[in-house]
Amino acid sequence: MEKKTAITSALFQREFLSVLIVVVNAFSWYFPLYLLFQSVLENFQMDSTLLLMAFGVQFAAAICSAIIGTAVVKRFPSRGTFLSAWMFVGIIASILMVTLETFNMTYILLVSFILGFSLGLGFPSCLAYFGDHSTVENRGWLGGVTFFVSGLCILFIGLIVSFSTLVAGALILAMWRGIGLLLFILARSKQDFRKEDTIEVSYRSVLVDKPFILYLIPWIMFCLVNFLEAPVVDASLGEDFTSFIPIAEYGIGGFVALLGGWFADSVGRKRIIIVGFIMLGIGYALLGLFTTNILSWYLYIIVDGAAWGIFSLMFYLVLWPELAGNRIKEKYYLIGVLPFLIASYIQLLFTPYAKLVNFSAAFSLASFFLFIAVLPLLYAPETMPEKKIELKRLRKFADDAKKAKEKYERKGKG
């Protein structure tokens, strides 16, 4: 009961409510915006070179602006003020989408740059905001709730935008970003939550941090395997079936993130991540062995959605602040998000060649690399202190013993 009360009180505190608002709004704003931009470019029937240019500019702008954002955030009165300014930039970027009704490559590249800039500028600070407002005891559960709500909002906003015109969709996203900004301003604390003893850190010191690397390598391998296999899956299973996959995986991933967060606070982070890799490896192995069996397709959807739920929770929100400790967290989050962005762009480069790949061999190879990805995790330290895990086990044992005793006494009286 004490654990549940502590988690519930943390979840509904005003400080964490502001975190929930800014993180959920960021995810549920940008992913539908990206898909809307993608659909606009597809309607222009651009060749692959121009598409790669447009998305390359966007990803490069996101990375460069993220680096800028980690440097300039300290110049603001508080991180909350910086995040408010970042969300306002997102409103402007969303409105600019309205102007993309006619083909003009120069203007498309400009808008693509602004969209990338509007994401990257504050995204590391947005995630670091979560890291600073959660503790190692409740970070998994709070992160699970955050991702679960994000998944619901992504699905809701995404469906509305998908059935809207370009103008209506862009204005809906601008309004959604504006609602998030208003709620964030009302909910956030006026004081900066950063501790006075927080240590500045360089990118080099992050990249030579052995525990960080031992977690980063499996995350890189997962992103590469998953994004490179996605076009192969599309070519193998057919467009009609694969159009169903994102919807199903959002639901599965959000639910698994909720459960995974609770388990991660109980048994530790590393065990949950290893389970995710093993599940996904088995899923790809079965898909490689039984490519024509529809049951293996549905199993793949389940394990891939579950893996995304676990890995998104761990590698977006939970791990990096725990590896950062009392150091400033923005750079940890920035480097931690890079594999996702880079792998997304590599997928665009690889997609035209997906039909040339042997499906069975590709899935078997993916399974092999996912099992290999587990090896660095075996040497990685558990980011949740073992003492806290053992204490939770003892509390659970005491609770179970108390319930058994009460049950025995009731039977005795009967």
pLDDT of residue 151: 87
Counting as low any pLDDT under 50, the low residues of the chain are 1-8
What class has domain 203-383? mainly alpha
H helices of 163-268, in order, are 166-187, 203-207, 210-237, 239-242, 245-267
Q: Which residue has the tokens 């990257």?
A: 120
Contact 39, 46 (CB under 8 A): no
Percent of the chain with pLDDT over 70: 85
pLDDT at 333: 95
* Domain definitions of the chain by residue range: 18-189, 203-383
Total Cβ atoms within 10 A of residue 301 = 21
Out of 3.40.50.10420, 1.20.1260.10, 3.50.50.60, 1.20.1250.20, the CATH code matching 18-189 is 1.20.1250.20
- Residue 236 contacts residue 285 (beta carbons within 8 Å): no
Q: DSSP string covering 272-310, please?
A: HHHHHHHHHHHHHHHHHH-TT-HHHHHHHHHHHHHHHHH
Sign of the CA dihedral running 400, 406, 409, 411:
negative
Residues paired with 199 in a beta bridge: 327
Q: How far is Cα 135 from Cα 374, in angstroms, rounded to an integer? A: 26
> Across the chain, how many H-helices and E-strands are there?
18, 0
Size of the chain in residues: 414
Residue 169 identity: G
Distance of CA 339 to the CA centre of its chain: 11
Q: How many CB atoms lie within 10 A of CB 45?
A: 8
Instruction: List CB contacts of 310: < 8 A, sequence separation 6 or more.
Output: 256, 257, 260, 272, 273, 275, 276
Rounded Cα–Cα distance for residues 133 and 78 (Å)? 14
Query: Angle 341-343-344 (CA atoms, 0-180°, nearest 5)?
Result: 65
Tokens of 152: 């619901």
pLDDT score, position 291: 75
Q: Looking at this protein, which amino acid is placed at residue 300?
A: Y
> Model-level pTM?
0.87
Tell me the sheet residues that pair with 327.
199
pLDDT at 2: 45
Structure tokens at 251: 């639901």
pLDDT at 42: 84
The tokens 């995204």 sit on which residue?
123
Q: What are the residues whose beta carbons fall under 8 Å from the beta carbon of 147, sequence distance 6 or more?
A: 253, 254, 257, 258, 261, 309, 312, 313, 316, 317
